[in-house]
Structure 1
């Protein structure tokens, strides 16, 4: 599933989520937490909609009752402020850490940050200012940034300089609030033509920006497709990684459904003492309640390997 489809699906779902439904998980007798995870895996809205119901608050309670201690929401910036407030309170009540949300409009087909166009830069910085307020409202520390499409009319060196300059200006806005934008390299198959594709490239950009507010989002699914060699590349860029996302390949479903050895990948991440969030930015391999339970069971299985 492509990121734009994640965002579209989540946005469509959120309209009904905000209204709730006849079933209310939060009003039922909820079970004791089923598992204590070693890492902060973060589901998203809709991942457990059959087991928890459509209401976002019910879903957050369900996630916490399963033992998940984090949550991410690509579309948080676009949600009604009243819903943001309700979700923030629910996360605080159940002890869930807010993960990333997408900080800005992503340009999938045309250049923006790579172009050096001042109006595109100002637009991006405007989104960052708005996202600072969202982050404060929902107690978020991280926000996702995708620099957008390549500018095929410019040398890569000039494009990189354009991106770095924009990110430096964004970092100056974020630093006083102790917030971090995390740059996500995306794979060529799902997102052809983008500027940022590999972890070494993201590492070089972050070093050039030289700010605690500009770090890497290492998406394991994307980098398995784009470059492979996962553990060595995570190790090489470790000091610039602030956030991790998950998805198996092929299919972008839960761990254990594809080729990635998540036992060893999670073991390495855990051995590094990582205490950040690992976003579950993937689909479910099976439909309905059985598929949602399969996701929970898969995370229990790979997480138990860490003990």
Structure 2
């Protein structure tokens, strides 16, 4: 049976962040993920996890100035030192929170930077992060994101991501497969998941169009959940969607999947 984690950056957003842990547990989730923990003390987040019997599943490496529209800096040639500092910061939080995997957002390719230079920078940063995280017992993952929601995002297809991972080399870098993003960019979801199953460490979900909860769009989530079960998927599935209405009223999909 799948394990579902609430993405606290998308769900329960009318509740203060630290109170979303309780809301997630009350809704029936066993784990949580979110964009970033860095605005809060790691010890306080850990207390919220423990108080609500939740597992910390995932957060991202620092990704630049999110409020200003930055969506990662891993492909930015002039931000390598900042990226490396972010890796150390993420490790410090992960150790306190018991987080065993961290996501790297490749970022939007800067103006004036060639595809080749952005790729070379991304490969170098992923290699650095994978090695540092491996020493700390933490898995590095990275995800392709659709270019409709984030125009110019550098990593946007499964094969592109895996080719870059091959160049990085090593066994501490896996794929975060976001079904919503990949439905937009390439479709063919079930065969792609099966073909690359051994390289997928984390799955995220939202329906399309609208990025709302499963069951509101075109994606056959009951089929895909069963497909992941048949393949023997043991990881978490992150609910990273924008509720169409009140979060609690749209959780029928979760009840049906358990």
Alignment TM class, shorter chain as reference: 0.7 to 0.9
Give the 3-state SS of the residue equivalent to 1:43 in structure 2: strand
The runs of 5 or more residues in structure 2 that have no matched partner are none
**The one of 284, 293, 301 aligned to 2:248:** 293
Higher mean Cα deviation, 206-215 or 193-202? 206-215
**Alignment partners' CA distance in 1, 2:190 and 2:207:** 15
Structure with greater contact order relative to length (CA < 8 Å, sep ≥ 6): 2
Deviation at residue 133 of structure 1 after TM alignment: 0.3
Which residue of structure 2 aligns with residue 97 of structure 1?
A: 55
Answer with 92-101 or 247-256: which moved more: 92-101
1:162 to 121, 125, 128: 121
Q: Which residue of 2 aligns with 1:223?
A: 182
Aligned: 1:47 with 2:5: no
* Higher alpha-carbon deviation: 171-180 or 124-133: 171-180
Q: Distance in 1 between matches of 2:106 and 2:187?
A: 22
- The structure richer in helix per residue is 1
Distance (whole Å) between structure 1 residues aligned to residue 208 and residue 71 of structure 2: 27
User: What TM-score, normalized by structure 1, do the two folds share?
Assistant: 0.75
8 Å CA contact retained: 2:108, 2:152: yes
Alignment of 1:219-298 (within 5 A): 219-286=178-245, 291-298=246-253
Give the gaps of 5 or more residues in structure 1.
1-37
Could you tell me how far 1:152 is from its partner in structure 2? 6.0
Alignment partner, residue 56 of structure 1: 18
Distance 1:168 1:71, change over 3 A: same
Which string of whole-angstrom CA distances, capped at 9 and with x for unpartnered residues, describes residues 133-176 of structure 1?
01111111122211112356555344323311221111121111
Length, aligned pairs only: 254
For 1:79, the equivalent position in structure 2 comes to 39
CA gap of 1:249–1:173, structure 2 versus 1, over 3 A, is same
Distance, in Å, in 2 between the alignment partners of 1:234 and 1:89 is 35
Structure 2 length normalisation: TM-score? 0.88
- The 1:75/1:166 distance shift into structure 2, 3 A limit, reads closer
Q: CA deviation at 1:130?
A: 0.5
Mean Cα displacement is larger for which, 225-234 or 208-217? Answer: 208-217
Partner SS, residue 58 of structure 2: coil
Give the distance between the partners of 2:199 and 2:231, measured in 1 at CA.
13
CA RMSD of aligned residues (A): 2.4
Q: Give the stretch that moved more between structures: 209-218 or 106-115.
A: 106-115
Counterpart CA distance in 1 for 2:247 and 2:34 is 18
